[in-house]
Amino acid sequence: MPNSTKMNIRTEIVLKEMMNDIVDNKESKGTDMRVSGHMFICRLVLLVGLLLVPCGAWAGDDFATGELLVKFKSGYEGKGAKAIEKIGAKVLEKLSRLDVSRLGLPGNLDVKKAMARLNKLPFVEFAEPNYIFKPTWNPSDPKWNDQWGITKIETPGGWGMETGDRSVIIAIVDTGVDLDHPDLKNKIVAGYDFVGMDSDPDDVGGHGTHCAGIAAASTNNGIGVAGVCANCSIMPLRVLGAQGGLASDVAKGIVWAADHGADVISLSLGGMFPSSTQRDSIEYAWNKGAIVIAAAGNMGVQDAHYPAYHSTCVAVGSTESNDARSGFSNYGSWVDVAAPGGFIMSTIPDGQYGYKSGTSMSTPFVAGLAGLLFSKMGSGASNSAVRSAIENNCDSIGGSWVSRGRVNVARALASVKAPAPPSSPPAKAPKTGSGSGGGSPAKSSDGGYSPKSFAMDAGSTLKSPAHSLVKSDDSALVMRSTQSGKKRHMDLEVTTKASTKGGVESIQVLLEGRFFMQGAGVTAYLWNWKGLKWDWIGREKMTTEDKTVMFRRENAAAYVSGDGEIKVSFRIDSDWFSTFDFGADKVRFYVKTGNKKGSGGGGSGSGGSDDLGKKVADTWKKLLK
C-alpha cells in the first residue's frame, strides 16, 4: 500500500426498484401521499467492498496509536530486527503467514514519523499504520428491505461509528406520537399536548408517528422498521390537529422542547406566511443549544416556506430513490439540504407500518442524523458544529435546486471526533454527592461498612434511590454510560467512613450489580490519601445477571484518611459501540485492622488473621470459597 493511501470500508448500495400498479395519488397542500405496502416493493442489493482512498490527513480515529505493521523483504529479517530495535519499538505479534510484524512504538515516537523512517530503508517492503476498521451492519427489523431511504443516505456505514445515545433527545413537534407503538414506546420521554393542553401527546392523525419512526424507531429489535438515530430518545409534542395548528402552539412546542432538554427539534410542518412568533421561538431554541430541522414544503415551487425559510432552521427538501428532486418538493437556494421523501416506510398508529411521501418525511431523516452527531460528539457538542457537519458532508445530486446536496450519514459522522475517554480516573478525588447518609461509621447487617455517599463522575444516573447501595433489595442505582467514541464507560465514586482503631491492614470492596445489555468489565481504584492519586486494585467481568465481585488491597493504611474516610472509584466499561446501562445493587467495604478484638468493618477478624470473621454474611463467605 502506498504511504499516502488510507484504507476505509464503505458500503456500496445498489437499489433496484420494482413498482407495480402504483396509484397516481398526487399530494395536495399539507397532505402526505400514502401507498399501501403491497403496491410498492423495493429490493436492496448490498455490495460491500474495500475502497482505497488517497488521503493526506492523519486522523487518530482511523488507526491504532502507537502501532505499526511492517514487512521486510525476503532475506532481510536480521536487518529488520535491528531496525526495529533502533527506533525503540517492540514486536507485539507476528502474522507469520504474511511475514508481517505488528510493532508497538515507544511513547515519544508517533506513527507517522516511525512509518516514514522505516519506509526509507531499502529492505522494508512496507510500513503502514494498523488501521481501524469499523463494523457496518444491517438490523434485524423485518421491514428493513422496504426502507430505501435509510440506506440511500449511508446510515449503515454511519452506525459503525455511532448508533446514538438515549440521553440525546429528538423532539417531534407535530400531531403527537403513538405512545404505545411497539417500535417507539421504549424510546419516548415526557412530552406535552398543546392542543388539548394536557400531558398526553398521543397522535391524532398518524403524521407525527410516521416522522418519529424515521428519526429514531427502535432498531435491531426484530420489530418493524429501523430509525436513523437507533438509540436516541423521542420527545412527542402535539401542536397540530386534523386541520393543522396555530403558530402560537407551534412556538410553544418549540420553546417547551428547548426548555426540557431536546437537542434536536424536528418540524415537519409549515406554511407560506412568516410568523415572527415562530421565528423568535426558533431563535430561542438555537440559543439554548438545540438545532431546528424544518420541512421545505410540498407545493413544488421556489417560493419561501416557513418556518424552514428562517436562517436559523435547516431547510430540508425531498429526493426520490434516484436522487432526483421529488416533484412535490419546494426548491431554491434557500433549501439547505435534501433527504429521501418519496414513498418512505415508517411507523403509523395502532402498531402498524405504512408509506408516506413529502418533505415531512425528509425532515426526520436529517433530525436523526443530527441526533447521531450530538451522540458522537458528546456533551461538548454545539448546534453550530452539528449543522456544519450535516451541511458540509452532503452528496452532490446535480442541479441548483438545493444548496448543499443530499445528506450522507457516514460522511457526516466521519467528519467529527468523539471526545477522548479518560485513560484512568481523575488525578484528584472528585467531590462526592449525597448518598446513604452521614454520621458515625455505620455497619450493615452483613458486617461491612455501607456507603456514606456516591457520585457519578462520568455517565448519567437514571435512577438513584439513596438506599440502593446500602442494602441488596434489587432497588438498583441505575446508570447509563457516557458516549466516548470507541469505548463507552461510566465512573461511579463511592465513599464510606470506617473505624480504624488498631491500624488498617487491608481493605476489601464488594460490588453487586448487573448489566442490562451487553456484559462488560468493572475496574476498581482506591484513593491514595498520601499520594493523592487513584491506585488500581483489580478488574472483574460482570454479566447480565446479578453478580457480586470483590477487590482487595493489602497494606492499606494509605487508603484511609485521618478521619477514617475511604473512597473507591469503579470504572465500568464496554467495547460495544452502543451505550449501556448498569444497575448497582450493593457496595460494601470490609476493613481489616490490627485490633485483636476486632474494630468493626466486618473484615477485621482477630490478630491480623485473613479470616473475615463470623459476622460476615453468608453471601460474603461464598465469595471467598
Measured in degrees and rounded to the nearest 5, phi and psi for residue 360 equal -60, -35
What confidence tier does 54 reach under pLDDT thresholds 50, 70, 90? Answer: very low
167 close to 248: Cβ distance less than 8 angstroms: no
Mean pLDDT of 507-524: 76
Q: What is the pLDDT of residue 9?
A: 26
150-163: average pLDDT: 92
Q: What is the pLDDT of residue 483?
A: 58
Identify the pLDDT of residue 359.
97
Strand partners, 461: 479
Residue 526 belongs to domain with CATH number: 2.60.120.260
Q: Which of 360-374, 469-483, 587-601 has the highest mean pLDDT?
A: 360-374
Q: Is the pLDDT of residue 218 over 90?
A: yes
For residue 167, being part of any structural domain is answered with yes
What is the reported pLDDT for 476? 64
Pairwise CA distance, residues 328 & 443, whole Å = 71
Same-domain pairing of 180 and 273:
yes
**pLDDT at position 519 over 50:** yes
> What are 171-191's pLDDT values in tens digits?
999 999 999 999 999 899 889
Average pLDDT over residues 53-75: 65
Report whether pLDDT(170) > 50: yes
Q: Are 489 and 421 in contact (CB under 8 A)?
A: yes
The residue out of 78, 105, 131 marking a domain boundary is: 131
Same domain, 289 and 154: yes
Same domain, 311 and 349: yes
Residue 423: predicted pLDDT: 45
| Structural domain ending residue among the three candidates 362, 388, 414 | 414
How far is it, in rounded angstroms, from Cα 412 to Cα 249? 33
Which range is least confidently modeled, 121-130, 349-358, 368-377, 544-553? Answer: 544-553
Q: Give the domain CATH number at 159.
A: 3.40.50.200
The contacts of residue 352 (CB under 8 Å, 6+ apart) are none
- pLDDT at position 184 is 95
Closest CA to 173 of 41, 309, 307: 307
- pLDDT over threshold 60, residue 581: yes
Residues 519 and 578 in one domain: yes
Helix crossing, 276-287 with 247-259: angle to 10°? 10
- Same domain? 277 vs 405: yes
For the chain, the straight-line distance linking the first and the last C-alpha, in angstroms and rounded, comes to: 55
Catalytic (active-site) positions = 174, 207, 360
264 is a domain residue: yes
pLDDT at 137: 54
* Residue 42 pLDDT greater than 80, yes or no: no
Confidence at residue 442, expressed as pLDDT on a 0 to 100 scale: 59
240 lies in some domain: yes
Tell me: do 84 and 188 sit in the same domain. no
Higher pLDDT, 530 or 600: 530
Q: Please tell me the least confidently modeled range out of 8-17, 178-187, 219-228, 464-473.
A: 8-17
Chain length of the chain = 625
Is there a single domain that holds both residue 155 and residue 114?
no
pLDDT at 374: 94
Q: Given pLDDT bands bounded at 50, 70 and 90, which one contains residue 192? A: very high
pLDDT value of residue 434: 33
Mean pLDDT of 366-373: 97
Query: Which one of 131, 162, 184 terminates a domain?
Result: 131
Q: Alpha helix locations (H) across 392-507? A: 409-414
Structural domain total, the chain: 3
Q: What average pLDDT score do residues 524-545 get?
A: 82
Q: Give per-residue pLDDT as tens, 66-83.
A: 888 999 998 898 999 999
440 falls within a domain: no
Range of the domain at 515: 453-624
Q: Is residue 93 domain-resident? A: yes
Domain match, 167 and 127 both:
no
Residues 126, 173, single domain; the answer is no
Report CA Rg, the chain: 29
- On whether both 532 and 387 belong to a single domain, the answer is no
CATH of the domain at 109: 3.30.70.80
Three-class SS state of 215: helix
| Res. 284: pLDDT tops 90 | yes
**What pLDDT, in 10s, does the model give residues 414-465?**
999 887 544 444 444 433 333 333 445 556 655 677 777 777 677 776 655 5
| pLDDT greater than 60 at residue 575 | no
* Shared domain check, 373 and 283: yes
For residue 29, being part of any structural domain is answered with no
Assess if residue 317 is contained within a domain: yes
Bigger pLDDT: 579 or 86? 86
Residues 263 and 410 in one domain: yes
Q: Within a domain: residue 422?
A: no
213 confidence band (pLDDT: 50, 70, 90): very high
Task: For residues 117-143, give the mean pLDDT.
Answer: 80
